[in-house]
Amino acid sequence: MGETAQSTVQPDSLTQASTVGLDSTTQAVAMTPEQAEAVAAGDALFKGNCAQCHAVNDVVVGPALMGLDKRRPERWLLSWIKNSSKMVASGDEYAVKIFNQYGKQQMPSFLLSDAEIRQILTYAKSQEATSVAEYSNAVAVVK
Ligand code: HEC
């Protein structure tokens, strides 16, 4: 008795994982609800503002965004995303270097809040390639 009633609802964690759009081949990381929320918000912001020029694991128009937290401090990233031209103009060494490296193509300025940019960065981090093959593939394109 009562056995048939067992095929009930999926656990919350599963529905959450699919909302966030985790790639099942690369991700099996447990996230807190807050992190999952940031990733979902960052995903939407990324698709709306950045995806035409960036992917996390591949060079598109701009560099692959993997490993950003290892390349630049967060405050640099916040200033860059808000107004990259200003940073290039200010003579920031790294800014000038990537600007030249990517054919002096100007990245647009974004009226995003720090919180929104952090969500994008959290999203990008969550999508980083985890296999060596994927990683070296993407890095190989960056000269
Ligand atoms: C129109 C194309 C374009 C769009 C849209 C764009 N970018 Fe960029 N981005 C670039 C280019 C090109 C570069 C390389 C530097 C340069 O040429 O100024 C770059 C560089 C960067 C860098 C430095 C990467 C590194 O390896 O140091 C970050 C971080 C970045 N973009 C984040 C973003 C984010 C976040 C968004 C969305 C909010 C975004 N970009 C939207 C074109 C774009």
- For the stretch 12-61, pLDDT in tens is 544 444 444 455 454 456 788 988 999 999 999 999 999 999 999 999 99
CATH fold of the domain at 9-141: Cytochrome Bc1 Complex; Chain D, domain 2 (1.10.760)
Instruction: Supply the pLDDT for residue 32.
Output: 87
Report the candidate in 109, 126, 110, 136 with the shortest Cα–Cα distance to residue 22. Answer: 126
C-alpha count within 13 angstroms, C-beta hemisphere, residue 48: 12
Q: Higher pLDDT residue, 112 or 135?
A: 112
pTM reported for the whole predicted model: 0.78
How far is the centre of ligand 1, averaged over its atoms, from the C-alpha of 61 (Å)?
8
Are 126 and 39 in contact, with CB atoms under 8 Å apart? yes
How far is the centre of ligand 1, averaged over its atoms, from the C-alpha of 65 (Å)?
8
Report the candidate in 134, 124, 27 with the shortest Cα–Cα distance to residue 69. Answer: 124
Q: Which of 57, 68, 84, 90 to mutate to test the pocket of ligand 1 (most atoms within 8 A of CB)?
A: 84
Tokens of 33: 């609800």
Return the axis-axis angle of helices 33-49 and 12-20, rounded to nearest 10°. 20
